[in-house]
Amino acid sequence: MRDIKRDQQTVWYSLRNVVTDKDEWGNTVDIKDYGKQISDKFNVSANKGTISAQAFGTELNYDREMSTHNMNCPIDEYTRLWLDGRKVTEPHNYVVVAVSKSLNCIRYAIRRVDVS
């Protein structure tokens, strides 16, 4: 079964942008920052339990999973997330730590962070 609309929640995310520039000595440097927040609908799991199948293994430190059937979704391992009603004017509260793509679905391992 594909994404059921009633199981989806709005997630705001911000993608990391990398711009190549030159420093004062002419060396090539990568400048990393984050773009504007974008919203989309995803299936987001409850907090990770101990008796569930762990698609990303047991060594990866993550709290929840998020999935979509939109195979064009640009989210990657450096994406910041605003979940659980967090306002985009506040700091992000989750980050993506792993991406697992299959033929019809993309699953994301996400970890809660405290940003002050």
In a domain, 99, yes or no: yes
In a domain, 2, yes or no: no
User: How far from chain centre, in Å, is Cα 109?
Assistant: 8
Encode the chain (116 residues) as per-residue pLDDT tens digits.
566 788 899 999 999 998 888 989 999 998 889 999 999 999 998 876 444 556 666 667 888 999 999 999 999 999 999 998 899 999 999 999 999 999 999 999 999 999 87
In a domain, 1, yes or no: no
pLDDT reported for residue 31: 87
In a domain, 3, yes or no: no
In a domain, 4, yes or no: no
In a domain, 6, yes or no: no
Domain count, the chain: 1
| Secondary structure in 3-state letters for the chain | CCCCHHHEEEEEEECEEEEEEECCCCCEEEEEEECCCEEEEEEECCCCCCCCCCCCCCCCCCCEEEEECCCCCCCCCCCEEECCCCCCCCCCCEEEEEEEECCCCEEEEEEECCCC
Domain that holds residue 104: 12-112
pLDDT reported for residue 6: 82
pLDDT reported for residue 51: 41
> pTM of this prediction?
0.79
37: phi then psi, degrees, rounded to nearest 5: -75, 140
In a domain, 65, yes or no: yes
